[in-house]
Amino acid sequence: MYDSGLRQGCPASQILIDFYTKDIFKGVRGVRVPGLTSRIPGLLFADDAVLLAESSADLQDALNTITEWSDTWEMAVNASKCGIMTISGELTTDMTLQGQKVNSTDQYTYLGYIMNSKWDVTGTIKNNKNKVRKAV
């Protein structure tokens, strides 16, 4: 494993992270979206990723795929910064990523957007109001 990388804010970091992670979802089944012909495996922005799955089994398969990818590229994933949020249904078993348990959560923040299982945007609106108040 490497203990160092690019400095935060390095101009090359965006290009390199895109190049390095372009295949991270390869082999992930993803979800069907009405109106689209291909499945969506997840969302990726720099080093922030969201996996999408239609069942507990599909989710663990996706986590196993990410584990294989991470191990191949000698990258460690901090499972304590990860969370599993179900939109409908229940998790049938504990989920693991690189041998670490990934905890369930009722809400998850991705790129400043607070998502929850009820699709309620109130949390994001309140969060944005607080940011504006602090900035003024």
- pLDDT in tens for each of the 136 residues of the chain? 456 666 777 888 878 888 888 899 999 999 999 999 999 999 998 788 899 999 999 999 999 999 999 999 988 999 999 999 888 878 878 999 999 999 999 888 888 888 887 777 787 788 778 888 888 8
Cβ neighbours of 133 (radius 10 Å): 8
User: Residue 54 contacts by C-beta under 8 Å, 6 or more apart in sequence?
Assistant: 29, 31, 32
CA atoms within 13 A on the CB side of 31: 13
What distance lies between CA 57 and its chain's CA centroid?
Answer: 17
Nearest Cα neighbor of 102 from 63, 52, 62 is: 63
Domains of the chain, by residue range, sit at 1-105, 106-136
Torsion of CA 44, 72, 27, 98, to 10 degrees: -80
| Rg of the Cα atoms in the chain | 17
- What does pTM read for this prediction? 0.79
Nearest Cα neighbor of 98 from 75, 67, 133, 73 is: 67
pLDDT for residue 131: 84
pLDDT for residue 5: 65
**CB 79 within 8 Å of CB 98:** yes
